[in-house]
Amino acid sequence: ADVDVTAPLNTSGTLRGRLVGVVDHRDSHVDTLFNNKQAAYGTLELDIRPDTTLSVGYMQQRIHASVDQGFPSFADGRLPDVPRSTLAGLRANRQDLDSQDTFVELEHRMDGGGQLKFSARDVLRSSFYRSARANSAIAADGTLQLQTVDFLQELKDRNYDVYVTQPITWGGLTHRVLLGASYNTSDAYNGNYVYGSTPTFNLYRPDYDLPYPTLTLPGYQNITTRSEKALYGQAQLSATRWLKFLVGGRVSWAKVATEQLTGATAVPSYNPGRHVTPSASVIADINSQLSAYLSRSETFVVQSALTSSGQVLPPRTGSQIELGLKGEFFNKRLQTHTALFRILDKDRAIADPAMSTASIPGGEVRSQGFEAEASGRVAQGWDITAGYAYTDTTYLKAPTSQVGQVFSTVTPQHSVNLSTKYRIKALGLQAWTVGGGVSYRSEFFAQNGALRIVSGDYALFNAQLSYRINDQLSLNLTADNLFDKTYYDKVSGSPRQNFYGEPRRVALTLQARY
pLDDT in tens, 437-465: 999 999 988 877 788 899 989 999 999 99
Rounded distance, CA 256 to CA 226, Å?
Answer: 4
| pLDDT value of position 405 | 75
Give pTM, 2 decimals.
Answer: 0.83
**Half-sphere exposure (Cβ direction) of 309: Cα atoms closer than 13 Å:** 4
The per-type count for the chain, helices as H runs and strands as E runs, is 0, 28
Strand, coil or helix: what is 111? helix
**Residues forming beta bridges with residue 474, ordered by sequence position:** 468, 511
Closest by Cα among 344, 442, 367, 363 to 401: 363
Closest by Cα among 181, 39, 44 to 119: 181
Residue 162: CB atoms within 10 Å: 15
Residue 104 has pLDDT above 80, yes or no: yes
**pLDDT tens, position by position, 281-328:** 999 999 999 999 999 999 998 877 777 777 778 888 999 999 999 999
**Higher confidence at residue 404 or residue 82?**
82
Buried/exposed code over 431-467 (b: 16+ C-beta within 10 A; e: otherwise): eebebbbebebeebebbeeeeebebeebebbbebebe
| pLDDT value of position 352 | 77
Strand, coil or helix: what is 377? strand
Candidate from 73-87, 351-365, 442-456 with smallest mean pLDDT: 351-365
